[in-house]
Amino acid sequence: MPPTADGTIETNSERGSTEGHAHTLKPGVLGVTAVAFLVISAAAPLNLLAGYGPLGYMVGGLGTPAGFVLAGLVLATFVAGFMAMSRYMHRPGTFYAYVERGLGKDLGRGAAAVALISYLAIQVGAMGILATVAQSLIDNFFGLHVHWAIIAVVLQVIVWYLGRRGIDIGTKVLGVLLFAEIGILAVIAVCVLVKGGSSEGIHAGSFAPSNVFTSGMAASSVVWFGAFLGIEYTAIYRAETRNPERTLPRAAYVSLSFLAVFYCFVSWAIVQAFGDSAIATAAGDHPTDMVYLVAERYVGTWAGDVTQILMVTSSIASGLAYFNAISRYGHSMSSEGMLPKRMSRVHPVYRSPNNGNLQAIITVGAVFLFTAVGLDPYTNMTVWMSTPGVLGIIVLMTLTAVAVVVFFWRRQQSSRDRWIVAVSSVSALLLGTVTYLLIDNVALMTGSTGAVNAFAVTLPFAALLLVALVSRLRRGHGAVAAADTDA
């Protein structure tokens, strides 16, 4: 049987059984637990703390644990408005859908472009960490040195395969991996505290205002807010969720609360493992194996080995979560005419979006590009791509918060509406401040100057304004053409 236009081979029986469902995702397969798993898996606690955590210590210093709490509090105000408005959204609740509903179609389409570009950038950046830790694992366990690009391509194929099998299969894989990584991090943190930490003892200096409100902490917002990027997934999977009006808010608050507390606790325990005075130096000396060292020193050699293995599986879980989200963004955008209609097609059996094939190719292409120019997968690929990606998502959150304010300001039908306006106004102000601080201190995060920083700062805004302008011009042209036809 020949392949279809999008490359999917479809038998006669499949064609008959899937009539009318070529563009429809698999409904009703996700509950509160499954959605929360997707959010937390996207955050990938072990990947975040072991891969990005050292960047936080190097740039933000001793106040790193408090950064997660502050980000969680800011996002709590955001989630309140986001989930309140979700009751009135009867389409996949991507950020751009909220922006379009509150601020108009042109800005909504610009926001869609920012989201797609930002998530792709983050996925490419995450592949740098994944390849680095997998390379170290293979080297340590088997004595083989495999080029990181080869590892990245193989792992991307694995992510593609799991994502292709459908969201219900993906959540089962994520659930198993998530329990394992959370378990080992909890064991490490408890052992550090039980053994009294470093020679400096147990201290709470991480929460002192003088260590929290610094320029380095502002620059490290990429780490703090990057830890919660999966919060949007509570709405992205609306079409595949059972009873979304109840399921999505519960999943959002459960995942946000858990992540804020867990990140803070484990990162604070890591500070105690090295000592207040040595944490920044330790992070600089061991940017990719910091957590492994703590595991070996305070739990045992076996824990270091297990942690290293789970770091790879955690990164795969994170990559799978991003892959699923990007696929559904593409599906939603193509369904609404922003991308070619063929990109909204789904697999005839698994009902997963076919556009996942394209994003896998883009990620592999980025890997080859960074390899060709001789750049480092961690310090270059991960940092340089994650920074504009996270900035773009924070910009989207800010726009979404503003859209919520406008939406409920127009309604003003109850005291609850006015309360949502107030909370979301605070959220928009806080997120706007975070955006400014991140831009102002971007050089501290990237460790670079010139073109890299210009790229990181301008990419989200350029995509937003350019696509919004094109959308406005096209709508204007369409209106003129319609008027001419009527005349």
The helix/strand/coil state of 238 is: helix
Tell me the one-letter amino acid at 433.
T
Token pair for residue 403? 């859209």
Q: Which CATH number fits domain 32-473: 2.40.180.10, 3.40.50.300, 3.40.50.10300, 1.20.1740.10?
A: 1.20.1740.10
Whether the per-residue pLDDT at 8 is higher than 50: the answer is no
Distance of CA 149 to the CA centre of its chain: 22
Is residue 175 over pLDDT 50? yes
User: Residue 190: what pLDDT?
Assistant: 96
What is d(CA 254, CA 250) in angstroms, rounded to the nearest whole number?
A: 6
Token look-up 């890997």 returns 367
Burial classification of residue 391, based on how many CB atoms lie within 10 Å of its CB (0-12 exposed, 13-18 middle, 19 or more buried): buried
Q: Which two tokens stand for residue 433?
A: 């401040």
* DSSP bridge partners of 30: 241
pLDDT tens by residue, 276-306: 888 988 888 887 788 989 999 999 999 988 9
- Reported as a pLDDT band with limits 50, 70 and 90, residue 171 is low
- CB neighbours of residue 112 within 10 Å: 29
Question: Tokens 């590009």 label which residue?
Answer: 369
Is a pLDDT exceeding 70 seen at residue 223?
Answer: yes
CA atoms within 13 A on the CB side of 395: 31
pLDDT band at 11 (very low <50, low <70, confident <90, very high): very low
Yes or no: say if 368 and 97 are a contact pair by the CB < 8 Å rule.
Answer: no
Judged by average pLDDT, the poorest of 10-24, 208-222, 411-425, 433-447 is 10-24
What average pLDDT does range 323-346 have in this prediction? 75
Each residue's pLDDT tens digit, 86-145: 888 766 557 888 999 999 999 999 999 998 899 899 889 888 888 888 898 898 888 888
Average pLDDT of the residues in 374-381: 88
Above 70 in pLDDT, residue 77? yes
Q: How far apart are CA 7 and CA 10, in angstroms?
A: 9
Residue 447 near residue 379, CB atoms below 8 Å: yes
The conformation of residue 457, written as its DSSP 8-state character, comes to H
Burial of 293 (0-12, 13-18, 19+ CB in 10 A): middle
How does DSSP assign 274-311, residue by residue?
H-TTTHHHHHHH-TTTHHHHHHHHHT-HHHHHHHHHHH
- pLDDT averaged over the chain? 82
pLDDT value, residue 352: 66
pLDDT at 99: 93
What pLDDT sits at residue 481?
53
Instruction: Tell me what pLDDT residue 96 has.
Output: 87
| Cα–Cα distances in angstroms (integers) from residue 165 to residues 161, 169, 170, 172, 371, in the given order | 6, 6, 7, 11, 30
pLDDT of residue 160: 85
Sequence-distant (≥ 6) Cβ neighbours of residue 168 within 8 angstroms: 26, 29, 30, 34
**Per-residue pLDDT at 419:** 92
Task: For residues 9 and 140, give the distance between their C-alpha atoms in angstroms, rounded to a whole number.
Answer: 41
Going by pLDDT thresholds of 50, 70 and 90, the confidence category of residue 72 is: very high
Q: Would the pTM count as exceeding 0.85?
A: no
Most confident range (mean pLDDT) of 4-13, 14-23, 434-443 is: 434-443
Tens digit of pLDDT for each residue in 408-448?
998 877 788 889 999 999 999 999 998 998 898 888 778 78
Q: Alpha carbon of 18 to those of 29, 70, 79, 345: distances in Å?
A: 18, 47, 36, 12
Closest by alpha carbon to 184, among 90, 29, 307? 307
> What does the domain layout of the chain look like in residue ranges?
32-473
Q: Is the pLDDT of residue 4 over 70?
A: no
The lowest-confidence range among 14-18, 120-124, 181-185 is 14-18
What is the predicted pLDDT for the residue at 10?
Answer: 41
Choice among 223-227, 263-267, 362-366 with the minimum mean pLDDT: 223-227
pLDDT at residue 266, rounded to an integer: 95
The pLDDT of residue 3 is 41
> What per-residue confidence (pLDDT) applies to 321?
73
Report, as an integer, the average pLDDT of 138-164. Answer: 88
Of 230 and 453, more confident: 453
Q: Which residue has the higher pLDDT, 205 or 171?
A: 205
User: Distance between CA 435 and CA 447 in Å, rounded?
Assistant: 18
Lowest mean pLDDT among 23-32, 139-148, 161-170: 23-32
> Model confidence at 351, in pLDDT bands (50, 70, 90)?
low
Helix pair 290-298, 301-335: axis angle to 10 deg: 140
Phi and psi (nearest 5°) for 196? 85, 10
Q: Which residue has the higher pLDDT, 241 or 392?
A: 392
The helix/strand count (H/E) of the chain reads as 22, 0
Top-confidence residue, 165 or 421: 421
For residues 399 and 41, which has the higher predicted lDDT (pLDDT)? 399
**How many residues are recorded in the chain?**
487
